[in-house]
Amino acid sequence: MDPQHPDASQTLLITLSGRDRPGVTSAVFRVLSAAAVEVVDVEQIVLRGRLVLGVLVTAPRDWRRLVEAVENTAAGLEMQVDIERGVGDNTRRRTGRCKVTLIGGPLRAKAFAAVAGRIADSGANIDRITRMARYPVTAIDLHLSGANTDLLRTLLATEAAAQGIDIAVQPASLLQRSMRLIVMDVDSTLIQGEVIEMLAAEAGCEAEVAAVTTAAMNGELDFEESLRARVALLEGLDATALDRVYDAIELTPGARTLVRTLRRLGFRFAIVSGGFSQITDRLAKELKIHYSRANELEVVDGRLTGRIVGDVVDRAGKAAALRQFAADFGVPDEAVVAIGDGANDLDMLSAAGLGIAYNAKRVVREAADTAVNVPYLDTIMYLLGITREEIETADEAAGVVTPAPPL
């Protein structure tokens, strides 16, 4: 018999459940140690104060005596125990491993049942379930084996729309644990609203500019042509309007938390915008973002000329910037996470290892690897395997005050 893979007939699966309190696990393992068994597998979870402990051990010669000792220990702890003999290890998992992240506000049982059904329909198996966050949204990770990632994405995209939740499907990869580069759009992604519309309000042409912006973000107009046309309407605007607009900008909820937390883990950040460097460079400095690229408004004698200096950062320009930033940082494109909402972000999202449509236009949601439609940018971290509890613990250690969770 291979000592690393005991024969199923020579194992015991012990499952203990009941009210959690200190000392339960140690009490069980004291009994097991007295029988000189080997631990083959062990998992433990605590859910709302209830503990479930599963231990797979080799069966000793006098296994009935061990069963009796474990049952007596469980009774003394006022816990329930189930012991099954002859259970095989699950180390030989099927190929096709991936992670499915569900995000809902709220996440209803009906939606969870529908997702589990589609996973079963695809032939995949749910091996493990973990909670990533319980507020302000609920985020749950499902770890699967035997999955066809492309098929699963198609099935779950339809289900996500039907159930009103967000679902991300990612192949299991070491990249999820590596230092990565985050490349973000700015308008309606990192910040709320569109800077060009705010400038247009200063120039008295907000409605006209907003209509063109919407069409461009939906992919109905050529981005460069539409941008030059909108900027032309700003001709003569006093450059001090840029300061007023910057002061009025509101970051997307969770933006500071996202940057602060991932910087601690060695991530690099870049912002790539079809907007204007007079705004984005200041945002990058304020948020300690490493790289920034945007269009430059021409200013002469303190006034906007209605023109852009140099080439326009358009759809192709955003993807080119992503690749350059990745090369500068020394990571492959597969290690890049891109986040955007408009049609001019499509090439950038496609170039990244993980492209996320954030509260995006329909054409973007349909093309991206995954979509997030809740108004919290830090939700992105759940897709990267970081839990809300870990975020708050790190903030607490750094003296950052976070709101208390609901009971």
Tokens encoding 312:
């326009």
Bigger pLDDT: 173 or 262? 262
With respect to residue 2, please indicate whether it lies within any of the assigned structural domains: no
Residue closest to 364 by CA, chosen among 258, 252, 216: 216
Which position among 20, 141, 185, 314 bears the catalytic label? 185
C-alpha–C-alpha distance, residues 370 and 166, integer Å: 8
Sheet strands side by side (includes 354-358): 303-309, 291-300, 268-276, 181-184, 336-340, 354-358, 370-372
Residue closest to 160 by CA, chosen among 217, 107, 239: 107
Mean pLDDT, residues 84-112 taken together: 82
The three-state secondary structure class of 246 is helix
Looking at the fold, whether 281 and 186 belong to one and the same domain comes out as yes
Looking at the fold, whether 211 and 281 belong to one and the same domain comes out as yes
122-163: pLDDT as tens digits: 999 998 899 999 889 999 999 999 999 889 988 998 899 899
Residue 312 has pLDDT above 90, yes or no: yes
For the chain, the domain total comes to 3
C-alpha–C-alpha distance, residues 84 and 180, integer Å: 44
- pLDDT recorded at residue 2: 45
With respect to residue 203, please indicate whether it lies within any of the assigned structural domains: yes
Residue 203 has pLDDT above 80, yes or no: yes
User: What sign has the CA pseudo-torsion 61, 65, 69, 70?
Assistant: positive
Looking at the fold, whether 236 and 293 belong to one and the same domain comes out as yes
Looking at the fold, whether 226 and 307 belong to one and the same domain comes out as yes
258-274: pLDDT as tens digits: 999 999 999 999 999 99
Mean pLDDT, residues 190-219 taken together: 92
Band of pLDDT at residue 219, cut at 50, 70 and 90: confident
Rg (CA), the chain: 27
Tokens encoding 161:
């729309």
With respect to residue 154, please indicate whether it lies within any of the assigned structural domains: yes
DSSP H helical segments within 35-105, as ranges? Answer: 63-76
Band of pLDDT at residue 3, cut at 50, 70 and 90: very low
Mean pLDDT, residues 196-215 taken together: 93
Residue at which a domain ends, from 58, 85, 112 = 85
Looking at the fold, whether 265 and 342 belong to one and the same domain comes out as yes
Residue 322 has pLDDT above 90, yes or no: yes
Looking at the fold, whether 168 and 252 belong to one and the same domain comes out as no
Looking at the fold, whether 72 and 210 belong to one and the same domain comes out as no
Looking at the fold, whether 120 and 264 belong to one and the same domain comes out as no
The CB-side HSE value for 394 (13 A sphere, CA atoms) comes to 15
Band of pLDDT at residue 177, cut at 50, 70 and 90: low
- Work out the mean pLDDT of the chain and round it to a whole number: 90
C-alpha–C-alpha distance, residues 313 and 310, integer Å: 9
Q: How would you label 335-360 residue by residue, b for 16+ Cβ within 10 Å and e otherwise? A: bbbbbbbbbbbbbbbebbbbbbbbbb
Looking at the fold, whether 331 and 279 belong to one and the same domain comes out as yes
The residue segments making up the domain with residue 34 are 8-85
Q: What is the CATH number of the domain that holds 213?
A: 3.40.50.1000
With respect to residue 405, please indicate whether it lies within any of the assigned structural domains: no
Residue at which a domain ends, from 85, 106, 136 = 85
- pLDDT recorded at residue 394: 86
Looking at the chain, how many residues does it have?
A: 407
- Residue 187 among the catalytic residues: yes
Residue 178 has pLDDT above 70, yes or no: no
Looking at the fold, whether 79 and 106 belong to one and the same domain comes out as no
C-alpha–C-alpha distance, residues 224 and 314, integer Å: 6
| Close Cβ partners of 4 (under 8 Å, ≥ 6 residues apart) | none
- pLDDT recorded at residue 218: 87
Judge whether 356 and 349 are in contact, CB under 8 Å: yes
Backbone angles phi, psi at 306, to 5 degrees: 85, 15
- pLDDT recorded at residue 6: 46
Band of pLDDT at residue 174, cut at 50, 70 and 90: low
Which position among 20, 141, 187, 378 bears the catalytic label? 187
- Residue 185 among the catalytic residues: yes
DSSP string covering 290-326: SEEEEEEEEEETTEEEEEEESS---HHHHHHHHHHHH
Looking at the fold, whether 160 and 189 belong to one and the same domain comes out as no
Q: What is the CATH number of the domain that holds 161?
A: 3.30.70.260
Looking at the fold, whether 80 and 199 belong to one and the same domain comes out as no
**To 10 degrees, the CA torsion angle through 71, 73, 76, 78?**
-60
- pLDDT recorded at residue 172: 82
Backbone angles phi, psi at 372, to 5 degrees: -120, 125
The three-state secondary structure class of 252 is coil
Residue closest to 125 by CA, chosen among 98, 153, 86, 158: 98
